[in-house]
Structure 1
Amino acid sequence: MFRYVLTAALALSATPVFANDSIAELGTGGLILSRSDAVAMESEDLYISPEKVTVDYVFRNNTDKDVDAIVAFPMPDIEGDPNEMPAIPDGQSDNFLGFEVTIDGVAAKPQLEQKAFALGIDISADFKAQNVPLYPFGDAARAALAKLPQAVADDWVDRGLIIEDTSDDGSGMKTVYVPFWQLRSTYWWRSTFPANKAVHVAHRYKPSVGGTSSVSFFYDGQFQGQYAAYKTRYCIDGTFENAIRKAAKKNPDGNPKYFENRIAYILTTGGNWATGAIGKFKLTVDKGDPKNLVSFCGENVRKVGPTRFEMTAENFYPEHDIDILLLVRSDDGGSGG
């Protein structure tokens, strides 16, 4: 796999990063089609930036009969752990990524299926019986947990559905119940693919962008810690390394003045269409600001604008997911590149 890195402006300083400075990104992908040997994916145009992900598909039914299928968009699983809060674009909504979809330009209204699990066991019915929302991070769930009968709360603690959290809210120590379950969410709809015709499906959402408050793998003039894993995952090369070293030298404390953003896109979950390959595939990665640094793995990637990089392929079969590392300037100085 070709290693591609674009470096932008260099920066000043940052402080060392510890475990509690990191926020995890939620890996999210595209659409899944119920298996069909009649419907082919003619093209996929994928755009990824820190602000939005858009995917435009063209599906084609190459047979003489209409095909009815189920199309699904799996949302990332969410773990209701108060100590491991992931990056969630909308912390109060079941549609926490703001997912939207159109079919041939017309807005669709997909159904949302949600289930809650603890230790791999479906506990959705328990929650519905007590009017507790399945989405764990919203204020509504916390409020509902506070109203649980004591016997139910004790049972849920014993079963690992919730945990007790004791802290000082400014008026003294208080204990509340907080979610500890896993949420699985899927948007889905039924779609008809007419005989010998193409269907255009487009969807968009706001990605979960993880990160740290500085560069977690570079400190005191050296690449260290988890850098080996970063180098493999994001295909970091010498150009990228030199940019970080140069930025570090410009800062009095010897550290580059950037913070990390990370985006994970699951590209390998599809393939249920005829041939399993994508006829024409296009990936555009937008780093958001000319001063940012970006690194990701790809083949034949080229720069097509001040912040955009493009990869195209034909008869493309996804074998790897897409992981994008963005180093964002933590000051206002510098120029783009």
Structure 2
Amino acid sequence: MRACAATLLVLMTGPVFGNDTAAVLTTGGLEFVSHGEIAMESEELFISREEIRVVYRFRNDSDEDHQLLVAFPMPDIVPDHYSPVAFPMGPSDNLFEFRTLFDGEPVEAKLHEYAYAAGVDRTKFLQKLDIPLVSISQEAIDAIKELDAETIDDFLHLGLAAPDGFDAGSGWETHSWPNWIYRATYTWEATFPAGETVIVEHRYTPSVGGTTGVAFLSEPYDDGYDPAAEYRRKYCTDESFIAAVRKTLPDPDEPWGAPFTESWISYILTTGGNWAGGGIENFRLVIDKGSTDNLVSFCGEGVTKIGPTTFEMVKQNFWPQEELNILILERYEAQ
């Protein structure tokens, strides 16, 4: 049975970006592989809107040292130019301000970047045109604006651009926005000594998507999209969580009126199954919702509240079957 951290908030107060994996570089890019002799002994994961921190203990169960290419995949960044996205603003060669320690020593990780549109890798296509790969960056937006009409038509045909028409007071205008998915993975070489345990630590700035209002209280759209069902599937928003949000509505007939903004954080868990034993022997997750006025919901079992804003999930022999998606509702003062 799944428990929702938001449910804990309701009961207790009245109205609550990837795992390491082994990898190989092929002509098609990076591929994640399983490794049968190195076990993930433990993972301690902390997630907030501002930072993700993770500490692993890896144990080499063999009698030989293993030199591996270790990979840390980041969640895809899907462009949505109509929603507020808190995008990491680090330097171009370390966008997420990703930092790694291997047994206490700093590691220089390499960033691999890709651009996908309509399921096709268009990285080289964009690079030939000197288009920045980060689709929601201002640099990419400006680069699209400078393209000629023929090239824009090519971008629209390939799904690399999305058209936008509007009248800003001077007549109808049509513009195009970058529309490709940005995908990133960090890699580095590491030696896992025979019969020993090593500690790997990461911290980085997550990419946080969201909306300026609450999107999941409305009725299904005319095209069939049901936001409430989608949020239940993705964030396990149960009835207690929904009721807590509805209580804040100034007008029950205005579902967009709840005094919250949404923040979405994703973390790749499933690659934790690529190590010996197929899972994580000891797993601990702590999520910080940021403020006691905020609400949080995510899919998890055995979630407990351990602080005014923090929630914990502890698992043994954890074999993640899906990625972790977190919804934080940030409270603001209604005007």
| Range into which the TM-score falls when normalised by the shorter chain | 0.7 to 0.9
1:136 counterpart = 2:138: no
Residues in 1 aligned to 2:244 and 2:150: alpha-carbon distance in whole angstroms:
59
CA contact (8 A) 1:81 1:181 kept: no
Query: Residue 91 of structure 1: CA displacement?
Result: 5.7
Residues in 2 aligned to 1:157 and 1:233: alpha-carbon distance in whole angstroms:
30
Query: Residue 182 of structure 1: CA displacement?
Result: 3.7
1:31 counterpart = 2:20: yes
Equivalent residue letter for 2:190? S
Counterpart for residue 296 of structure 1: 298
Work out which of the residue numbers 265, 270, 273 in structure 1 matches 2:272.
Answer: 270
Residues in 2 aligned to 1:325 and 1:216: alpha-carbon distance in whole angstroms:
12
Equivalent residue letter for 2:240? T
CA contact (8 A) 1:3 1:299 kept: yes
Question: Does the C-alpha gap of structure 1 residues 58 and 213 become closer, same or farther in structure 2, counting only changes over 3 Å?
Answer: same
Residues in 2 aligned to 1:157 and 1:241: alpha-carbon distance in whole angstroms:
39
More helix by share: 2
Counterpart for residue 40 of structure 2: 41
Query: Residue 275 of structure 1: CA displacement?
Result: 0.5
Question: Does the C-alpha gap of structure 1 residues 158 and 201 become closer, same or farther in structure 2, counting only changes over 3 Å?
Answer: same
Counterpart for residue 15 of structure 1: none
SS of 2:195's partner is coil
Question: Does the C-alpha gap of structure 1 residues 252 and 144 become closer, same or farther in structure 2, counting only changes over 3 Å?
Answer: closer
Question: Does the C-alpha gap of structure 1 residues 196 and 211 become closer, same or farther in structure 2, counting only changes over 3 Å?
Answer: same
SS of 1:306's partner is coil
Counterpart for residue 25 of structure 1: none
Residues in 2 aligned to 1:126 and 1:313: alpha-carbon distance in whole angstroms:
44
Residues in 2 aligned to 1:157 and 1:258: alpha-carbon distance in whole angstroms:
35
Counterpart for residue 29 of structure 2: none
Residues in 1 aligned to 2:156 and 2:96: alpha-carbon distance in whole angstroms:
29
1:215 counterpart = 2:217: no
Alignment of 1:104-123 (within 5 A): 104-123=103-122
SS of 2:207's partner is coil
Alignment of 1:16-27 (within 5 A): none
Residues in 1 aligned to 2:146 and 2:174: alpha-carbon distance in whole angstroms:
13
Counterpart for residue 229 of structure 2: 228
Question: Does the C-alpha gap of structure 1 residues 109 and 252 become closer, same or farther in structure 2, counting only changes over 3 Å?
Answer: same
Counterpart for residue 313 of structure 2: 311
SS of 1:7's partner is helix
Query: Residue 90 of structure 1: CA displacement?
Result: 2.7
Structure of higher CA gyration radius: 1
Query: Residue 278 of structure 1: CA displacement?
Result: 1.0
Counterpart for residue 27 of structure 2: none
Question: Does the C-alpha gap of structure 1 residues 112 and 225 become closer, same or farther in structure 2, counting only changes over 3 Å?
Answer: closer
Superposition RMSD on alpha carbons, in Å? 3.5
Query: Residue 313 of structure 1: CA displacement?
Result: 1.6
**Structure 2 spans left out of the alignment, 5+ residues:** 24-33, 220-224
Query: Residue 289 of structure 1: CA displacement?
Result: 0.8
Question: Does the C-alpha gap of structure 1 residues 279 and 187 become closer, same or farther in structure 2, counting only changes over 3 Å?
Answer: same
TM-score, normalised to structure 2, is 0.77
Counterpart for residue 90 of structure 1: 88
CA contact (8 A) 2:100 2:201 kept: yes
Residues in 1 aligned to 2:138 and 2:276: alpha-carbon distance in whole angstroms:
44
Residues in 1 aligned to 2:163 and 2:261: alpha-carbon distance in whole angstroms:
33
**Structure 1 spans left out of the alignment, 5+ residues:** 12-27
Residues in 2 aligned to 1:280 and 1:115: alpha-carbon distance in whole angstroms:
32
SS of 1:218's partner is coil
| Higher relative contact order (Cα pairs below 8 Å, separated by 6+ residues) | 1
Residues in 2 aligned to 1:219 and 1:159: alpha-carbon distance in whole angstroms:
33
Residues in 1 aligned to 2:285 and 2:125: alpha-carbon distance in whole angstroms:
43
CA contact (8 A) 2:47 2:286 kept: yes
Residues in 1 aligned to 2:65 and 2:91: alpha-carbon distance in whole angstroms:
36
SS of 1:229's partner is helix
**What does the per-residue CA deviation read over 1:216-261, in whole Å, with 9 as the maximum and x for residues that have no partner?**
23369xxx9532333344333443344334333xx35665433322
Residues in 1 aligned to 2:227 and 2:79: alpha-carbon distance in whole angstroms:
26
SS of 1:29's partner is coil
Query: Residue 209 of structure 1: CA displacement?
Result: 2.5
User: Percent of aligned pairs with the same residue?
Assistant: 41
Residues in 2 aligned to 1:245 and 1:152: alpha-carbon distance in whole angstroms:
47
TM-score, normalised to structure 1, is 0.76
Question: Does the C-alpha gap of structure 1 residues 61 and 306 become closer, same or farther in structure 2, counting only changes over 3 Å?
Answer: same
Equivalent residue letter for 2:272? G
Alignment of 1:130-209 (within 5 A): 130-145=129-144, 159-162=158-161, 178-209=177-208
Question: Does the C-alpha gap of structure 1 residues 239 and 138 become closer, same or farther in structure 2, counting only changes over 3 Å?
Answer: closer
Q: How many residues align?
A: 311
Residues in 1 aligned to 2:194 and 2:129: alpha-carbon distance in whole angstroms:
47
**What does the per-residue CA deviation read over 1:30-53, in whole Å, with 9 as the maximum and x for residues that have no partner?**
222242211110100011112211
Query: Residue 55 of structure 1: CA displacement?
Result: 1.1
